[in-house]
Amino acid sequence: MSNTYGKLFRITTFGESHGAAVGVIIDGCPAGLEVNLEEIQHALDRRRPGQSAITTPRKEEDKVTVLSGIFEGMTQGTPIAMVVNNKDQHSHDYSHIQHAFRPSHADYTYTAKYGTRDYRGGGRSSARETVARVAAGALAAKLLEKHGISVKSYVSQVGKIKLQKAYTELDLNQIDSNIVRCPDGATASRMIGLIEDARDSLDTIGGVVSCVIKGVPAGLGEPVFDKLHAELGKAMLSINAVKGFEYGSGFEGVKMRGSEHNDEFYTDEAGKVRTRTNNSGGIQGGISNGQDIYFNVAFKPVATILQPQQTINDTGEDITLKGKGRHDPCVLPRAVPIVDAMAALVLADFMMRQQANKV
């Protein structure tokens, strides 16, 4: 079941980077959910290649086709199948790596596991697979919207350039106001310059995507193995190029004492339970406490670089390898909708599981 995620709101993705198509089957989506295909397409447009000068020039429209489960703009409670055809594959760009193990790619590990691999763009290991997740995530976000829950991700760091503002100081409606998807114009300009420098140097660079989830009710998550933050971490770490996940105070919290870190409870004027601080990141004991959930996701530099590197081939011989083709100098701008999608899928699944927990 390595291609399936979720317990009640469950997705299964299929397809390869240079295959005919990439798609997803969603099982467990409730009937009666109004679906606007333009919203799903908008999410895919935010992820698609070729959208700006700092993304891969591969030209894919990523037009989604619904095969089943939606009738007259409404989910039917039956499996929903969506597919996006691949149209701009340049498989010949990868013939030089047919027998090579690219540094920091999945070529060697896939060969070790399966005894074979699709070398065209990495096949199933390619981030092209995330098209399916984004399509499913848009549907999950629609379900969350009915419960007043919103998910917004943005680029908070590129290389050593870090946004020096907490999410509470930002206007998250400005995320798409620039091509790097950082909601602070001045910082975004510096980030774009750094990405352009990496691109012009035939290199790549990584960074951090931050996510904020608002409107989550208290009580989502399971107390032992399926803790909410553990599932969010699993979901984020399943995204290509992700190397780290932290929520709430994260690693900075180790610098604090308990008296500083504890989130004191109080009852607000409306009678709602709240906390004076939110170092817990909206999750305590693996269960949401009703406050904002926020976390950071670290992305490594894209592994394919257009510089010569030393590696070996599948017979163990030392070779020099130089990347070809069309690749992102920085994955972050296109990773934002992927983080959105995976967060929405986790929350949608837990919303449905919570409804099954109470009479």
Please answer whether residues 84 and 44 qualify as being in contact, where contact means their C-beta atoms are separated by less than 8 angstroms.
Answer: yes
Find out whether 15 is annotated in a ligand binding site: no
Burial 139-177 (b: 16+ CB within 10 A, else e): bbbbbbbeeebebbbbbbbbbebebeeebeebeeeebee
Main-chain dihedrals φ then ψ at residue 152, nearest 5 degrees: -135, 125
Structure tokens that stand for 257 in this block = 């004492």
Structure tokens that stand for 106 in this block = 């999945």
Structure tokens that stand for 46 in this block = 């935010």
Structure tokens that stand for 63 in this block = 């037009």
Find out whether 126 is annotated in a ligand binding site: yes
Find out whether 300 is annotated in a ligand binding site: yes
Find out whether 301 is annotated in a ligand binding site: yes
Find out whether 138 is annotated in a ligand binding site: no
Find out whether 46 is annotated in a ligand binding site: no
How far apart (Å, rounded) are the C-alpha atoms in residues 355 and 359?
8
3-state helix, strand, coil in the chain (%, to 5): 35, 25, 45
Find out whether 259 is annotated in a ligand binding site: no
Please answer whether residues 49 and 334 qualify as being in contact, where contact means their C-beta atoms are separated by less than 8 angstroms.
Answer: yes
Find out whether 124 is annotated in a ligand binding site: yes
Find out whether 150 is annotated in a ligand binding site: no
Query: Residue 241 class from Cβ within 10 Å (0-12 exposed, 13-18 middle, 19+ buried)?
Result: buried
How far apart (Å, rounded) are the C-alpha atoms in residues 13 and 83?
10
How far apart (Å, rounded) are the C-alpha atoms in residues 83 and 40?
12
- Per the DSSP assignment, residues forming a β-bridge with 5 are 11
Find out whether 329 is annotated in a ligand binding site: no
Find out whether 241 is annotated in a ligand binding site: yes
Binding residue positions? 47, 124-126, 240-241, 285, 300-304, 326
Binding residue positions for FMN? 124-126, 240-241, 285, 300-304, 326
Binding residue positions for NADP(+)? 47
